[in-house]
A and B are shown apart, each in its own frame.
Chain A
Amino acid sequence: MSDISQLKKVLEKGEFAVTAECGPPKGADAEAVLKKAETLRGKVDALNVTDNQTAIVRMSSLAACSLINTAGLDPVLQVVVRDRNRIALQSDILGASALGIRNVLCLSGDHQSFGNQPQAAGVFDLDSIQLVQVVRGMRDQGTILGGETLDSPPDLFIGAAANPFADPPAFRVVRLAKKIGAGANFIQTQCIYNLQRFGTWLEMARDRGLTEKAFILGGVTPLKSSGMAKYMKNRVSGMDIPDEIIGRMEGVAKEKQREEGIRICVETIQRLKEMPGVKGIHVMAIEWEEAVGEIVERAGLLPRPIVVS
């Protein structure tokens, strides 16, 4: 699309940013990627493309990002360290930049035992923090691991994830500090349902000056049903869904649960907008991308800013 990350421009201009997740298909159809991306056009500043999320084989994030980029949208390349060693990771970073991709999100990745290839070897040659550091070194020093110089450095806006709800709570901010220290320019958080706990984490981050050093985007996921809410609460590690939220989902008839899920999501975004240190939101509407437009609109975040560099 352009030479500069749209996400970076929006954030640096001080606008409240909106990103959304866009999972690649379990197949080789380019149209499937473009169709999903199209539903998000004009609703978000950038689209995160997941990298074999939950360890299920899908079209590569790099390929899907390239398709989205060609369509004139700003993709965020999610890269997990589960499947590639440092040679492949650095190579893909160069390739991504060459294809015009301008954002990268460095992740550990869901463990291979969760997916459809449980017999796979987990690579984990680098961890997510080391990957952030490596990408920064490539971009800012123009060197790869070990110090060799690149002919031309990649141009990437670097992101990392944070989970304010995992244990041990006091250490979550230490890890955030390490990610930012390693070079993360932006942070996208785990889905927020427990605003009180998120607020505590954010305050600790503010106290360490971290909210001034990186752009923090609060993660939200609209709940589709009370069943999904309970599944996430009980079965997804590192997820904190208060009973009050479960109660709200259970309190409405089945056919109204999607609306309730969207309502909770919009309310959460409105609260996040008021929290000092939150610079945007990241909407992860899992296999429900068509809900993103409505959520963003009802949260008063449309139209998206047109930022010219």
Chain B
Amino acid sequence: MITAVQKPIDEIREMIAPYKKILVLGCASCVAECAAGGEKETAMLASTLRMAAKMNGEEVGFTEMTLDRQCVKEFYIRLDDVIDQYDAVLSLACGAGVQAVADMFQDVPIIPALNTEFLGETKDQGLWVENCLGCGDCMLYYFGGVCPLARCSKQLLNGPCGGSMDGKCEVNPEIDCAWQLIIDRLSKIGALERLEKIYPPKDWSKKQGGGPRKIVREDQQK
């Protein structure tokens, strides 16, 4: 899923300062899973902003609403009936959701309330970890299900570097050395010989070489 965290409240207040009627718009998908922009977080943020406005003697109206997904047209199209009542939307979606809504409703400022972080996993309660770059050419087979591009600080395809100690990364002892994980995993499945070969330079054209990417599936089109 896509993970995100809420921006500092002061930054949000600065961005919404010119507006009087604000729609606080949650997203019930990925950002709900990572407790950043779901219905609950949307209610909490709206309430915090109301309180702050009141304390500062500002006359601002906040209305809450949460869409199933802000990044899918069939959901964000529902804003069509209500958006005229507001002079700004504070979106608790990831960057993709914010842009989808902003593309559709170009006359209303759509303001991001979150910092979008990474593609990751809910590892534990309150713990999310990055494990995919979305490189467009998955190599997880070769590396026993551990991605060195996302999880090695130096993105080595032929690691580990000389800074791997006790299974930890030299950048920060809190980070597991991805290459230690790869070696352990391949050794468990009896496939260590995969690491004897030299992996060639990554083909980054599949990620960014052709500019922004899109997927076109004619079989899915009407």
Q: Which residues of A contact B (CB under 8 A)?
A: 82, 86, 108-109, 111, 113-114, 122, 124-130, 133-134, 145, 161-163, 165-168, 171, 174-175, 177-178, 181-182, 190, 237-238
Distance in Å from the Cβ of A140 to the closest Cβ of chain B? Answer: 16
Q: A111-B171, A113-B171 are in contact. Are A166 and B201 (CB under 8 A)?
A: no
Contact partner of A182 (CB less than 8 A), chosen from B163, B171, B198, B202, is B198
Q: Residue-by-residue, is B200-215 near A (CB-CB < 8 Å gives 1, otherwise 0)?
A: 1110100000000000
Assess the A167–B159 pair: CB atoms within 8 A. no
Question: Residue among B165, B167, B177, B183 with the most chain A CB within 10 A?
Answer: B165
Give complex CA distance A182, B198 in Å: 8
Q: Which residues of B contact A (CB under 8 A)?
A: 153-167, 170-172, 177, 180, 183, 195-196, 198-202, 204
Distance in Å from the Cβ of A75 to the closest Cβ of chain B? Answer: 23
Assess the B183–A168 pair: CB atoms within 8 A. yes
Q: A174-B196, A178-B196, A237-B165 are in contact. Are A126 and B160 (CB under 8 A)?
A: no
Assess the B156–A127 pair: CB atoms within 8 A. yes
The residue on B at minimum CB distance from A133 is B198
Assess the B161–A108 pair: CB atoms within 8 A. yes
Residues of B within 8 A of A133 (CB): 198, 200
Give complex CA distance A109, B155 in Å: 12
Assess the A166–B164 pair: CB atoms within 8 A. yes
Assess the A161–B180 pair: CB atoms within 8 A. no
Give complex CA distance A125, B149 in Å: 10
Contact partner of B162 (CB less than 8 A), chosen from A86, A168, A177, A190, is A190
CB-CB nearest 5 A-B residue pairs: A163-B162, A237-B170, A129-B158, A237-B163, A124-B155
Give complex CA distance A190, B162 in Å: 8
Assess the B198–A171 pair: CB atoms within 8 A. no
Residues of B within 8 A of A124 (CB): 154-156
Assess the B166–A167 pair: CB atoms within 8 A. yes
A125-B202, A168-B164, A238-B170 given; 6 more Cβ-contact pairs under 8 Å? A128-B156, A162-B162, A166-B161, A167-B164, A171-B195, A237-B164
Q: A129-B198, A133-B198, A162-B162 are in contact. Are A167 and B167 (CB under 8 A)?
A: yes
Residues of A within 8 A of B199 (CB): 130
Question: Residue among B157, B158, B172, B195 with the most chain A CB within 10 A?
Answer: B158
Give complex CA distance A130, B156 in Å: 10
Residues of A within 8 A of B162 (CB): 161-163, 165-166, 190, 238
Distance in Å from the Cβ of B184 to the closest Cβ of chain A? Answer: 8
Assess the B159–A127 pair: CB atoms within 8 A. yes
Assess the B158–A111 pair: CB atoms within 8 A. no
Give complex CA distance A167, B183 in Å: 11
Contact partner of B154 (CB less than 8 A), chosen from A127, A178, A237, is A127
Residues of B within 8 A of A125 (CB): 201-202, 204
